[in-house]
Structures are given as structure tokens and as C-alpha cells.
Amino acid sequence: MPIVSTSFDFDTVEWRSVRDASCEGFLVDFEYCLLSYDLPSGRLDMLLRYGEGGHCRRHRHIASTVTLVLEGEQHLVEKLPDGTTKAIHRKKGDYALAAADAHPHDEHGGPLGGTILLSMTATDGRLFEYFDEQMNSLGTVSIEEYVDSWNRGVAYGSAAVVAS
């Protein structure tokens, strides 16, 4: 299992930035750090950091995901199948386990941002599915694609997401 970073020291890990001003409704602006992965088992561990006002792309986790809030806060607004929404607020120290095929959601940090650990298990190799503002699927990303972009030195999602 390749280990990319052996540290949780936010000042020494390698962060990759993703920004997308074209998103309507909120600013896509976050950083992530790949910690380790195991392609045969579909395991990927990473840090995700939101600055003040920064959001992730609208997405859902296809992989089963453990979340641990290390610093600040994490806010999610899930889009439920009946059209309603569910707000989730996690603060430093909170732990969550989401089953595979989670609901699509918008995600961001608190007023001062936030940093979370994500540990994902993608049994079919797919990590995320991305959505546009109208909740149309933009495609999925696999663990292989995510790791490949990291190894090439680019941030996955820094360009338009292409359906796979």
C-alpha cells in the first residue's frame, strides 16, 4: 500500500488547490492532500481543507467514507430523493461513517474553515460522482484516476470534470 505522506502536520503535507469560479451558488475553493491508497482493495485516505467561504464541488460519495473533523467545522446539505434537504454540522473531533452510495451534497467549512480526514473504501473502484447546479451528473471519478492525477502532480478536479 503506497503511503504518500506519513504526517498530519498541516504545515508540511503537500496540499493541492482546487478552485472553480464558474460554479453558481457558491465558490468552489478547497485543498486536499493524498495520504495513502491501496488500489487492489479500493482504499484511499486523504485530508481535505476548506478556507473561509470555500466549498467542495457538488458531489456524492460512491465509496463508503469515514470522516473525522480535525480542525474547524464541516457543513453539509444533503439533497434527498424526495426533493428535500438535510443539514449536517460537524465540529472538531466529530466522527462519521457513511455507507456507500451516499446522497448528493454541498459541503463547506465553518466560519473559520475546516480540515477533515476522509478514509474511503471503493469496492467497485469509484470514489465520487459530481453534479452541476441542476443536479445533472457530470460523471464519476475512480480511485485510479484520483491517484494518477496526484502522481502526475496535478489536482484532480482543477479542470472541468469529464464523465467516465
pLDDT at 12 over 50: yes
Q: Considering the domain boundaries, does residue 159 fall inside one?
A: no
For the record, the C-alpha cell of 116 comes out as 477533515
Q: Considering the domain boundaries, does residue 1 fall inside one?
A: no
pLDDT at 24 over 80: no
Query: 77: domain CATH number?
Result: 2.60.120.10
Q: What is the dihedral of CA 61, 67, 71, 72, to 10 degrees?
A: 60
Q: Considering the domain boundaries, does residue 82 fall inside one?
A: yes
Q: Considering the domain boundaries, does residue 11 fall inside one?
A: no
The total domain count for the chain is: 1
| Nearest CA among 61, 11, 60, 66 for reference residue 33 | 11
Q: Considering the domain boundaries, does residue 8 fall inside one?
A: no
Residue 127 to residue 144: CA distance in whole angstroms: 9
Q: DSSP state, 55?
A: B
The whole-model pTM stands at 0.88
Q: Considering the domain boundaries, does residue 6 fall inside one?
A: no
Q: Considering the domain boundaries, does residue 99 fall inside one?
A: yes
The string of pLDDT tens digits covering residues 53-92 is 887 888 899 999 999 999 999 999 999 999 899 999 999 9
pLDDT over 70, % of the chain: 92
For the record, the C-alpha cell of 69 comes out as 473533523
What 3-state class would DSSP assign to 76?
strand
Print the domain residue range for 29: 16-151
The string of pLDDT tens digits covering residues 95-122 is 999 999 889 998 999 999 999 999 999 9
